[in-house]
Amino acid sequence: MRQQRSTNGTSFEISGENNLPAVILIHGLGLSKDMWKEFIPNLLKSYKVITFDLFGHGKSDPLNATPDLDLFASQILELLLYLNITTAHLIGFSIGGMINRKFAVNYPSKVLSLIILNSPHKRDKELQKIVEKRAKLVFSEGALATLDDALKRWFTNDFRLVRTDVLTLVREWRKRVDEKSYAQIAEVLATGVKELINQEFNDRTPTLVITCENDSGSTPSMAVEIAKDYLYSDLVILPNLKHLGLLEAPVSFANPILRFLERIK
């Protein structure tokens, strides 16, 4: 694994052989490229894997402009150009799944496939109000203001009791964010789904949509609606898990992802 830094201030790591197809992994809000560490070994036999920190996260530079999904799509494009990668499979978690959808709209020729994990779509009015309220709380009280409540929404009760090490890690990732950047990106998470509704999609892109049965913010019904936007889409709902099921049970995600990638070769 080789950690590097691109010319635009993006911190990234590359794992795997250079001659293999590329997979770009896009983390969620307040997290880090390190969230993929237990997941990456599943891909290395057949793929070169690139992880990176979104602006304002981990070791990447803070934002230098007001963010939207286009800005983060261009962050990926610049990374691909920097690495001389022509096309890639894009796997995005939560807001990362919003970003890879926007990337596919803006740069369809660069996308081999989309894998959208636990990502929000059109919310009902009540849930939209709740998400926007959380974003405003971050602006007024800081990046840690909503974390305790989030951990209850993200992990099952049993996991939170047993794997306190993972919860500590998530807290550490949140502490590393640039406070101003985080607040601005929280607003993108709250309102950016509007950019993805009724948009002209590259609907022929092979697409896999996964969420968890008990994900309250990226619900199974949202996953169904996302999958409808793509002509060639698969849909998987993982039982029992919540929003961060990817950290709780990485193999449960890896298995359908590997089957999907093998099938579309």
Q: According to CATH, what is the number of the domain 2-263?
A: 3.40.50.1820
Q: Where are the domains of the chain?
A: 2-263
Q: What is the mean pLDDT of residues 100-107?
A: 94
Q: How far is 53 from 74, CA to CA, in rounded Å?
A: 14
Q: How far is 238 from 132, CA to CA, in rounded Å?
A: 27
Query: What percent of the chain clears pLDDT 90, i.e. is strictly above it?
Result: 85
pLDDT at 265: 85
Residue found under tokens 């709780």: 248
- The CA distances from residue 103 to 100, 154, 165, 208, in Å, are 5, 26, 34, 15
Q: Over the stretch 5-54, which tens digit does the pLDDT of each residue have? A: 999 999 999 999 999 999 999 999 999 999 999 999 999 999 999 999 99
Handedness of CA 4, 176, 115, 122 (dihedral sign): negative
242 touches 150 (CB < 8 A): no
Name the pTM for this structure: 0.96
43 touches 16 (CB < 8 A): yes
